[in-house]
Structure 1
Amino acid sequence: MSNAERRPLLLDFEKPLVELESRIIQIRELAEENNVDVSDQIEQLEGRATQLRREIFHSLTPAQRLQVARHPRRPSTLDYIQAMTDEWVELHGDRSTGSDDKALVGGVARLAGRPVVMLGHQKGRDTKDNVARNFGMASPSGYRKAMRLMNHANRFGMPILTFIDTPGAYAGVEAERLGQGEAIAYNLREMFRLDVPIVCTVIGEGGSGGALGIGVGDRLLMFEHSVYTVASPEACAAILWKDAGKAPQAAEALRITATDLQNLGILDEILPEPDGGAHANPLAAAATLKQALVSSLDHLSTHAAAELRELRYQKFRDIGVFLEPAT
């Protein structure tokens, strides 16, 4: 990919890295034109670029991690499914209103030889695709489709794997008319009663009730540059300070990063990303996710159904519990 193609997708904190990479390319081209051996210098500069990339992505602020989580080339649910599974059959429709929400996809797959049901939010890759996918914001029919697939998994004893990547549920008038809140609340309740293992992974942006609608599970995994939040930093800043420009300040206060959530006892495992983020090496990110999912399912499969339900219930009951110091 040329520099011109990359520039529209360039994040502000990546500029020093891109400038260094451009310099390496220029030096290499000049050396080839003049038949000069600069391999040692190129090797040193490439080593510096690798080190700089690692330094940048290991010291991101919450607001910068949000930028990475929203990167248009970040792998989506369907990208991960195609990269990880041996077989995949997408299933459509909510069997209720007769509609098929493209912002939430799901189906039956085989992961490392194990039959599973996979479902998740699906964003688009470009503007046209994003409009078709409603920017990953699911409607009531999407959450009802998800519940239909999860009931199917429960009936046939297949584990459920969900992939969270949405700014939030669709908040349009039509969605409210069709019962958006009820559809999400129903999923929250029903996921607690399922007998099969459920592993939820935040692969990008986990926003509000739209994320929770498929987020009740036995284990919660999260890529290191993903975010999970009750409201977007922009919305939070607009509500608290009447100024969406204070989103970076809100991102700090909301504790939206994987490390924050792990420290709060909400997250079970942080999945490391390739240097430069998951979009820099999607296949490596998919390999990491597959290994984590297989390991989680191996562990959860040792529990009986009743034990799974009780542990799942207790997991969420423990969220937010704290002990006050004795006086």
Structure 2
Amino acid sequence: MTNYLEFEKPLAEIEGKAEELRALARSNKEMDVEKEASQLDKKAETLLKDLYKGLSAWQKCQVARHPDRPHCKDYIEQLFTEYTPLAGDRNFADDHAIMGGLARFNDRPVIVIGQEKGHDTKTRIERNFGMARPEGYRKTIRLMDLADRFGLPVVSLVDTPGAYPGKGAEERGQSEAIARTTEKSLALKVPVVSVIIGEGGSGGAVAFATANRVAMLEHSIYSVISPEGCASILWKDAEKMREAADALRLTAQDLLKLGVIDRIIGEPTGGAQRDGKAAVEAVGKAIEAMLKELARKKPEALVRDRRQKFLDMGTKGLAA
């Protein structure tokens, strides 16, 4: 069953009518409705292209949060082989919102880390909707230490509304854990590449996207705060999220202009949720290209360039 977004309602009606016709034909073998159904399919295909040709910032937020988009687990299963997960921060607990471990990418050993939201009610609760606690960030630091020790590139997959804001997380040092993860990312002497596959929310995302190369899927978002949170602070009204989304410049297209990210990965027509396999393959090609760009850089150059990248962030767009 297709999950339609708010702005996709006209599309839902057309595709629904085509399905109704085919259902009638299945129940009555004498009916020939394929011609009418095919016409509706063509109309739906044209409408889908038109809808996704000019998405607003808020509509991109909706697409980035779509429950059917491929998540971290899907990318790891399809792009990496010999994945060996590592659990726990050796201090408090294991955070299931963070997946990570040793793996092979195109037969090359790497460390892969990412936030996993889950696909249904049970797994979303288990994964805490992709919102990491302090132990998740400390597990990430542990994985990054392994990468540095053995000279393994780090691949991170970002998909989180932000770090978990609960009382227990704050008591265990949430902000300190995020800051130390970012500090560790900046100091790694191995190539670090990051892909924002859905939501990139707040410092919880920055800690994973402190990389030499950062890519975003075409309809993903990356921002210091969610549009709803921004609207609540600036206008005291969460319903102003559309205006906030425009003001935040959180789309991949805006962030490429600002120099915050390095490349945009195209999505299938209708978003990654309509063709997950194609989206995963596109991300795989981007990761391969980014790792190739960094392959010949010396450790000192990797650290220097990564730090300079963040010092220069935003100046490109301001100068223009």
**TM-score, normalized by the shorter chain, greater than 0.5:** yes
Separation of aligned partners in 1, 2:167 and 2:24: 59
Counterpart of 1:94 (choices 86, 89, 98) is 89
> Which stretch shows the higher mean deviation, 125-134 or 311-320?
125-134
Q: Deviations over 1:216-242 (max 9, x none)?
A: 000001011110010111111110111
Separation of aligned partners in 2, 1:36 and 1:314: 67
Q: Which runs of 5+ in 1 are unaligned?
A: none
**Aligned residue number for residue 51 of structure 2:** 56
**Aligned residue number for residue 161 of structure 2:** 167
**Aligned residue number for residue 77 of structure 1:** 72
| 1:201 aligned onto 2:163 | no
TM-score normalised per structure 1: 0.92
| 1:184 aligned onto 2:178 | yes
Residues 263-278 of structure 1 mapped to structure 2, 5 A cutoff: 263-278=257-272
TM-score normalised per structure 2: 0.94
Residue 174 of structure 2 aligns with an amino acid whose one-letter code is Q
Counterpart of 2:239 (choices 245, 248, 267) is 245
Residue 132 of structure 1 aligns with an amino acid whose one-letter code is E
CA shift, 1:106, in A, is 0.4
**Aligned residue number for residue 151 of structure 2:** 157
Separation of aligned partners in 1, 2:120 and 2:29: 41
Given that residues 258 and 318 in structure 2 are in contact (C-alpha distance below 8 angstroms), is that contact kept between their aligned partners in structure 1?
Answer: no
Residue 266 of structure 2 aligns with an amino acid whose one-letter code is P
| 1:145 aligned onto 2:139 | yes
Given that residues 185 and 207 in structure 2 are in contact (C-alpha distance below 8 angstroms), is that contact kept between their aligned partners in structure 1?
Answer: no
| 1:47 aligned onto 2:42 | yes
Q: Deviations over 1:306-327 (max 9, x none)?
A: 11111111111111336989xx
| 1:299 aligned onto 2:298 | no
**Aligned residue number for residue 256 of structure 1:** 250
- Over the residues paired in the alignment, what is the CA RMSD in angstroms? 1.7
Separation of aligned partners in 2, 1:182 and 1:82: 31
Residue 133 of structure 1 aligns with an amino acid whose one-letter code is R
**Aligned residue number for residue 27 of structure 1:** 21
Instruction: Decide whether aligned partners of structure 1 residues 48 and 293 sit closer, same or farther in structure 2, where only a CA change above 3 A counts.
Output: same
Counterpart of 1:67 (choices 50, 53, 62) is 62
Classify the secondary structure of the residue corresponding to 1:115.
strand
CA shift, 1:26, in A, is 2.7
Instruction: Decide whether aligned partners of structure 1 residues 254 and 145 sit closer, same or farther in structure 2, where only a CA change above 3 A counts.
Output: same
Separation of aligned partners in 2, 1:201 and 1:85: 15
Separation of aligned partners in 1, 2:189 and 2:166: 34
| 1:230 aligned onto 2:224 | yes
Residue 57 of structure 2 aligns with an amino acid whose one-letter code is P
Counterpart of 1:210 (choices 194, 204, 210) is 204
CA shift, 1:126, in A, is 2.1
Q: Which runs of 5+ in 2 are unaligned?
A: none
Classify the secondary structure of the residue corresponding to 1:88.
strand
CA shift, 1:54, in A, is 1.4
Q: Deviations over 1:24-83 (max 9, x none)?
A: 223334456363555444433322211111111222111111111111222111111001
Separation of aligned partners in 2, 1:213 and 1:131: 23
Residue 90 of structure 2 aligns with an amino acid whose one-letter code is R
Residues 4-15 of structure 1 mapped to structure 2, 5 A cutoff: 6=2, 9-15=3-9
| 1:135 aligned onto 2:121 | no
> Which stretch shows the higher mean deviation, 203-212 or 49-58?
49-58
Q: Percent identity?
A: 47
Q: Deviations over 1:165-190 (max 9, x none)?
A: 11111111211111111111111112
